[in-house]
Structures are given as C-alpha cells and as structure tokens.
Structure 1
Amino acid sequence: MKRILSAAVLLLASLSVAFAQTGTWSGDVEVQGMKLGIVFHFEEENPTMDVPDQGAKGLPIQLTRPEEGKVSVKIPSIAASYEGQLQDGKIVGSFSQMGASLPLTLTPGLRKLNRPQTPVGPFPYAQEEVTFNNGDVVLSGTLTLPEGYSRKTLALVMVTGSGQQNRDEEIFEHKPFAVIADALARAGFATLRFDDRGVGGSTGDPEAVTTDDVRDDALAAVKLLRERFDMVGVLGHSEGGTVALMLAEDKLIDFAVSLAGMVVSGEETLIWQTAQALAGAGVDQDGVDKYSQLLREAYAALREGGEIPSPEGRGLPDMLKQSYYGVQQQLRTPFLKRFVTLDVRPRLAEIKCPVLALNGTKDQQVEPESNLGALRKGLKNYDHQIKTVEGLNHFLQHCATGSPTEYREIEETVAPEVLDEIVSWLELHEPLDVKPTFKGKDANAFSRWVSERLVYPAKARRNGITGTVMVAFTVDQNGKVGNVEVVDSVDPQLDAEAVRVISSSPRWKPGVKDGQQVIVHYTFPVIFQLR
C-alpha cells in the first residue's frame, strides 16, 4: 500500500509540474533600460507568443518540455528562443535573439497595464471594417464615421510611424490612433486607420517596405475616402507625419496634420536619435561622438555605394561595437537604405494646403526645434500652424524626461491638449459655403493691400533685418478683423508693424456656412524684403 501511495504521490507531483507549464505566462525582458513585456500561451495545441508592448499577437511558437520542469521555446518568425526552468512557481530562464541573451522570468497569468484613455463602447458613432488595394497589396482598416456625416464632413487617413504596426499604432498596450479617432469622431470628423503591410488584416512583405511604399498605401486610402468625402487629409505620426508632408507636396490631399513628424533628413534624425539614446544609457560624450561619426560614415557609404566602415580601431567599447554590428545588418534592409536619404525640405515650398504640425518639447526621437524650424522656413503657404507642446514626448504624452524607457510606465496615451488642438484646428478648416472676401476679391487682394501699407521700421532697415512674419487673425460674422497675433516671429519691430497694418484692415464680407455668417480664421504671411 505504501508503495502504491508513493507512486501516486510521484505521479501527482510530475503532473503538477507539467500542468504548471501550461496556460498563459508573462514577464519582462530589459533592453537598454527599457522593459519589454513577453507573453507565452503554453497550450498543448497551437501555442503562441505575444509582445503586447509592440502590438504583436499570436506569433506561432514551437514548444517542447525536454526534461521535467523545463520548457524550451523556438519562435521562428523572429528568429528567437527561450529556455526556462520551473522554480518556486516561476519559470526562470533566458530569451535569446540575434546573438543576445537576456534574463526572462515568467509568472502565471497576464499583467494588464492601465490605459484609461483606450476607447470602450458603446460609441456614439459608427465603425466599418474596410479593405482596399495598393497594387497586389490588400490593406485592412477601420473607417470611423461621426453621427450625421455627409460628403462635407472632413475625413482623415491616419498613418503610423516607422516599424510594422497595427491600425491603432499599438505600443506598450497604448492605442494612440484609436484614442485620436475616437476624439475626432465625437467632434464630427471621419477617420480611416489601417494595418501596416504584413500586420493584422493587411498583406504584403513587411521586410521589403520603404517610406515610399507607406506613402503609396496612404494615397490608396485617400482615394478610398474621396469616394465618400469632398475634403480628405492625412494625419500622420513620426514617419507618418513625413508621409503627410510628402502627399501635401504632391498636392494629393486637402490638408496635413503632422504629429512629431520628421522634416530634416532620415540620416540626421537617426544620428541625433542614437546620440540621445547613448547619452541616456550613460555613455560618455567621447563615446557618443565617436559612435555618431561612425554612423555618419556608414550612412555616407550607404548613399554612395561605398564599403560600410568597420568599428574596429576607433576606441569604441565592446558594447558599442556590438550595437554597430546590429546596425550593419539593418543597413542592408530596403527601409533603411531609403530612410537615410529621405528629406522633404527641398519641396516644402510647393505645399499649398493647410498644415498643422505639433511636436513635444521632450521628444527624444524626433528633435522638435530643428524639425519645426525647417518646416517654418520651408512652408510658403498662407495657412499653417506650427508649434511645440510643452512637456510631451515623442508619443505626445506628458513625461518626466522623454526617454523611450518611460513609454511603458506612462498611463496617458495622448495628452488631452493635443487632442483639443487637433479638433480646434480641424474645426477652423471645415468647408464654407461662401468664403470671406476683401473688397470683393480673395485673400490675394488683401495681401496686396497689406504690402502697400507696410512701413519698414527704420532700425530694422539699417540692420538689414528681413523675413516673413506669420500673423493669425479672424474675420468675424460682421466682417471685422480681430484677434490679431503673431504666430511665427522674425523681429519685434517687424512683428509690431505686421500687427499694426493687419489690425487696420477695413471690413471684409463675412464667410457663410449652413446659411449663417460665421467667424473665419486666417494665418497670413507678411513679407519684409529690402530692395
């Protein structure tokens, strides 16, 4: 009897070990100070892995249990593996990928991050699942339609940042595009957000995608919306903001919204971005400078078809050498070959449609001042609003430092003031039945009237100060000009003269919408040029 009982105990013990390694297990790996959540679903049939922080779900895995209490996992789609041993109710092991091995301890169940802004139904608007084509690629998305929409409703295509992302631009369980689409639908605007190639319901090879492909995919989405709406624009984040400007340069959209968008070249962005990350990781300035120079040489070789330089003999620590060898692999990808040369600055003057650009002051991925400064310098159209938003990171969240290592721990998905800014700007650009007129003519007549009345400030003339002052103002329901303010300054004297002349404007004939005279907002360039 004792032997039978002993055998039963051993059998139960072995079964408990085996079953302890079934179901859902989750944990974090730490990569350069950033935590990345890993979730395994150890099912007997069709086991899978999720990386919720990157929006990746249902990756097939190969699961074996070579010995009692051990688990061995291979993830072919990302060339990774995991080996672990059950200890005190946890699976303790290592996650390996691209030659790197990182500690990963798994605990039973799923850790859920708090994301209070993620929309939860029921919704006061409609949503449609749609598919559309760009050549052989089928793209899948969600069309969000506000209550009472019509052809006159403003519609926006939403374009994600770099890397393969789903339609919500999901990262660390944040869904910024879902949050933005929800806010815009509640305010009366339609949106179409779609999965990137090879993600979710979209087809295509994600390894072959370049920014030009993303642009073409966004254009296919624009064409789809034009079947139902008269005015269609693009709202893009990061690389998506660059795509919005590219389509605006080609005059293929009616307005553009760039959120943390890149305006300077891809090469400049990558070098600055890397320098920020290295400094944040504690690398001294000498190491940052040497590594940045190595990247400049590598990118130059990539552009010119030369030999990619070696990191050896440059006084770099082993950690930076290993990092660079990883960069060398990426240099062979179609995406990076194109991204390094990407630069929208030369054609910004060709943009004629309205542009809204918002960047956070703590962005450590797209430097705010150089990018917005390039946009201010390059745009020549009458209607653009360019501003930094204080205290926000690359994802336009309130943050402490702006470091990517904070993204996961921040509960806010999109700062409310950013949502308000987008909605307010779009409301100003809803189509009018009748536009305001100045002396019976359009805004060009007002431009001539202003230039004829400008008095060049004497001190500014002596000092050779020139430039274009951007002035915002309103034409109210009675045609009166008011709320005159400088939104892009050149010099205090030139600013004051621009405000003086525009404030002295005679009345306009007001704009009309839905049979009612309405307030109309303008952003107007006042050019000071010495002859």
Structure 2
Amino acid sequence: MRLIACLLALLTAPALAQSDDYEGDWSGVLSAGAPLRLVLEVRGETAVLISVDQSGARLPLEITQRDAEGFAGTIPSVGAALDLNRTGNDELSGTFRQGGATLPLSLYRGNAFEDGGDVAADFIVMSGDVRLAGTLLLPEGDGPFPAILLLNGSGSQDRDANVAGQPGFAVLADSLAERGIATLRMDDRGIGGSDAVAPDSPADLAVDAGAALSALREADGIDNRCAGILGHSEGGMIAFLAADSADPAFIISLAGMHMTMAETLYDQSEAIILVSGGTQAQADQNRALQDAIFAIMRDETIEDHMAAMNAALVELGLPEAVAGQQATIWAQPYARAALDLDTASAMAAYEGPVHAFFAGMDLQVRGVAHADRLIAARGDQPTEVTYLGGLNHLFQRALTGLPQEYASAPHAMAPEALAAIGEAAEALINQACR
C-alpha cells in the first residue's frame, strides 16, 4: 500500500472553499503494478493508512502537514511518505513515495470499500437483562451461510477487538466473509453499545456467548445447523465454558487460554520481562509480587480485598498510586473467580471438532504449554493444533513479540494467519455441518 502525488494545475482549477477538516475516512485506489484499495483513517490527532487488499494492513502515519492546503505524513514502518494537496472539499490528490517510487493517488471523502459487497448490520443480543451490541456481517450472495461467533480476549474491547488501534476481528470478519462465512462480533460489557454491567465470573461471559450464538442461529441468512465459536485468548477459554449449553458446531481457539489465569500470568510476566532485557532476578521479584496479590485474591476470609491488596503492595515497595491501580484491577470479583478456574472438564466434555492456533512469538499466552493442556484435556475428541511462527499474540508479524509492537505492526492480523484460520474454518464447516 503506497501513495503518490500528481501535481495538478491548481491555477486553472475553480476556486475552492478549502478546509483543514480531515476528520473521518478518505478512500482511493493506488496503481502499483496491481490496483490497491486504500483508506486514510483520520481520528483526532492520529491517522492510519489502511490497505484493504493487503489483509487490511494498518500503517500509522506521523502527520507533518494538516491545513487548508493539504495533508502529509510519513509512514516509518514501511519507509514511505504521503503528500496530498487539498483539491476539493471532498478530494485530495498527491503522491505516495516508497523505495524510490512515486505514484499518483487521489482520495475521496468516505470509505468506498467498507465491507465490499458484504452486508454489515447492527445486531442486538439480550443475555438475560444485559443488552449486548455487535455487528453481523453476511457475505455477498444468497444464504443461508455458515456462521461464526467471535469472542474477544480479556480486557475491555469493542466488537472489532481493537487492541492498540488494531481491529483484528474486523479484519478477520472481512476475510471470512470472502470465504462465504458470516460472523457476529460483539462489544464487551461496558463498551460501545453494550450495557455497563460488570460480569462477576467467566460463567457470566459464557452465558453471554450462549445467548449470542442462539441469536446468531436465528438471524436471517444464517444456516442454523452450522454456527461455531471462535475465541481469542481468554475468549478461547469462554468458548469451552459456553459449549455445554450453546452446543456450537465447532470451536476455533486463537492463542486460547487453556491453563488457569494464575499459570498464564506467571508465564506471561516472566517472558515479557526477559524479552524486554530484564534479568531473572527481576522476573523472580515480580513473581513475588504476583504471589502476594494471588494470596489475597484467594483468601475468602478477607472482607475488603481491595484495601488488603493495596496495603500489601505498598508494604512490598510499590508506589501508592501503582498499588491502588493494581488493587482496583485484581480485587474485582471477576478476577478472583477466574484466577484458578480450570476448564479441563469443559474442554473434555465438548464433543465437536476443535482447531487451536498458537503464535510462535506470543509472550502473553505461551503456546506449547497451553496446547499441551488442551490436548491432554481433549483426549480422543477431534482436536487439531497449528503453530504459526513469527507472529505475536494478535497474530501479527513480530520482531520480539512484545506488546509494544502491537500498534506499529503493518497488519491488524497477518495475511498468513487470516489464510490459515479461513482454511481451518472451511474444513471445520465441512467436517461438522455437511
């Protein structure tokens, strides 16, 4: 995805009511051997160039000009530069430069490529009294279509699974739609259009997943005999917890958390510290802090877990502000309920086919350990595991796997990951539904 500037004869152009308002989306096609559809996404003081035809690659811009005359910026991640003149209120024309090449490009206000010929619609799910909002994406053509419910990982994420500005699930949904597979992706509780009702335990999220899968099956255009679940990270755990009542046709796990949260956090923290250049002594010191936090989380005799945790962390040397922040996170009922939750029985009980993917440079969910736990729990149940080398926890191409790389990765999800997941989904649909 590269941009260029055609110098237009502005002296002969009609007078324009030029504006420095660039907020929103701008789209156009770059001729670079093959046509590349591009979207310039401007949000506040930040901008990202998206290559629709390169798996939705997202290239953050460092803005160097943004005024009534034009818009310009550099793209350090790919050694490129964008220089566009404001040739109309809703038109930009200029150049994209990269690797010695300069190509002409015109962009027009709006995203002309949004969802291609696919049909995206807002979708509401009622999970008990909790209202959950999301997007149902139907492929182009006549249904009914096989479908997949996408479950976010931990933390507060919107329906696109935005992490560090990278909308992994939006890109994945588009990729699956190209294969004729519908998807439903949801805002987490308290995010976007979903109600701000905090879950007390992973069981609450499993109920949400079951309600969403049931609603998905009943939606127009969906093959109600063929609806599966795909979960990322903690979502991989939730998929199995929901399976008993939801009865998905299949499960796809992406960097799924198949060990306990405590085990996952121990491994994750040590890996990130060591890869960041820290010492084993520092990793051991961090584990001592985790031990203190986990001990308080497990103690049911404590009446005020937040106060107890805050006091313990201050005593261990953390600044009060940091201790308070950590106590706020880990004293929540959800965190305490999830800490030692073992999903082995749920993984064993699900009789449908499973395909689990793990990323070779994932520092948050260490693939081999979680894969071993999944395989051991599944026994003779149909289970396939795939390792994708060179990718991080978000299935982006990575140098170190550290979370700091997520925002600057050129893709929200690497093309090879999208291809592998799509092929697995097709195989599971054929196996479970036909």
TM-score > 0.5 by shorter chain: yes
Which residue among 189, 193, 198 is the counterpart of 2:185? 193
Match of residue 113 from structure 1: 48
Q: Is the 8 A contact 1:241 1:258 kept in 2?
A: yes
> Superposed, which structure 2 residues align to 1:370-409 within 5 Å?
370-409=369-408
Alpha-carbon shift at residue 125 of structure 1 (Å): 1.8
State how far apart, in whole Å, the 2-side matches of 1:342 and 1:305 are. 15
Q: Do the aligned partners of residues 173 and 328 (structure 1) sit closer, same or farther apart at CA in structure 2, a change above 3 Å counting? A: closer
Alpha-carbon shift at residue 370 of structure 1 (Å): 0.5
Q: Do the aligned partners of residues 350 and 393 (structure 1) sit closer, same or farther apart at CA in structure 2, a change above 3 Å counting? A: same
Match of residue 239 from structure 1: 234
Q: Do the aligned partners of residues 262 and 432 (structure 1) sit closer, same or farther apart at CA in structure 2, a change above 3 Å counting? A: closer
Q: Deviations over 1:161-214 (max 9, x none)?
A: 1111111011222111111110111101111111111211111324x5542222
Compute the RMSD of aligned alpha carbons: 2.9
Count of residue pairs the alignment pairs up:
327
State how far apart, in whole Å, the 2-side matches of 1:369 and 1:246 are. 21
> Superposed, which structure 2 residues align to 1:356-375 within 5 Å?
356-375=355-374
> Superposed, which structure 2 residues align to 1:40-51 within 5 Å?
none
> Which ranges of structure 1 fall in alignment gaps of 5 or more residues?
1-22, 26-56, 58-108, 436-512, 514-531
Q: Do the aligned partners of residues 258 and 397 (structure 1) sit closer, same or farther apart at CA in structure 2, a change above 3 Å counting? A: same
Q: Do the aligned partners of residues 276 and 135 (structure 1) sit closer, same or farther apart at CA in structure 2, a change above 3 Å counting? A: same
Q: Do the aligned partners of residues 290 and 417 (structure 1) sit closer, same or farther apart at CA in structure 2, a change above 3 Å counting? A: same
> Superposed, which structure 2 residues align to 1:72-91 within 5 Å?
none
State how far apart, in whole Å, the 2-side matches of 1:299 and 1:354 are. 34
State how far apart, in whole Å, the 2-side matches of 1:349 and 1:184 are. 28
> Superposed, which structure 2 residues align to 1:133-282 within 5 Å?
133-151=126-144, 153-206=145-198, 208=199, 210-227=201-218, 228=222, 229-248=224-243, 252-282=247-277
State how far apart, in whole Å, the 1-side matches of 2:290 and 2:404 are. 23
Provide the secondary structure at the position in 1 that maps to 2:386.
strand
> Which ranges of structure 2 fall in alignment gaps of 5 or more residues?
1-20, 24-42, 58-112, 303-307
Q: Deviations over 1:45-85 (max 9, x none)?
A: xxxxxxxxxxxx9xxxxxxxxxxxxxxxxxxxxxxxxxxxx
Provide the secondary structure at the position in 2 that maps to 1:413.
coil
- More moved, 163-172 vs 274-283: 274-283
- More moved, 242-251 vs 406-415: 242-251
State how far apart, in whole Å, the 1-side matches of 2:157 and 2:200 are. 12
Task: Tell me: higher relative CO, structure 1 or 2? Use CA pairs within 8 A at least 6 residues apart.
Answer: 2
Q: Match for 2:348: what amino acid?
A: A
Provide the secondary structure at the position in 2 that maps to 1:262.
coil
Provide the secondary structure at the position in 2 that maps to 1:204.
coil
Bigger Rg, structure 1 or 2? 1
Alpha-carbon shift at residue 323 of structure 1 (Å): 4.5
Q: Match for 1:203: what amino acid?
A: D
Q: Is the 8 A contact 1:353 1:381 kept in 2?
A: no
Q: Do the aligned partners of residues 408 and 192 (structure 1) sit closer, same or farther apart at CA in structure 2, a change above 3 Å counting? A: same
Q: Is the 8 A contact 1:157 1:221 kept in 2?
A: yes
Provide the secondary structure at the position in 2 that maps to 1:196.
coil
- More moved, 113-122 vs 368-377: 113-122
Q: Is the 8 A contact 2:240 2:346 kept in 1?
A: no
Alpha-carbon shift at residue 275 of structure 1 (Å): 2.2
> Superposed, which structure 2 residues align to 1:14-25 within 5 Å?
none
| TM-score, reference length from structure 2 | 0.68
Provide the secondary structure at the position in 2 that maps to 1:154.
strand
Which residue among 121, 131, 135 is the counterpart of 2:124? 131
Q: Do the aligned partners of residues 128 and 402 (structure 1) sit closer, same or farther apart at CA in structure 2, a change above 3 Å counting? A: same
Match of residue 290 from structure 1: 285
Provide the secondary structure at the position in 1 that maps to 2:394.
coil
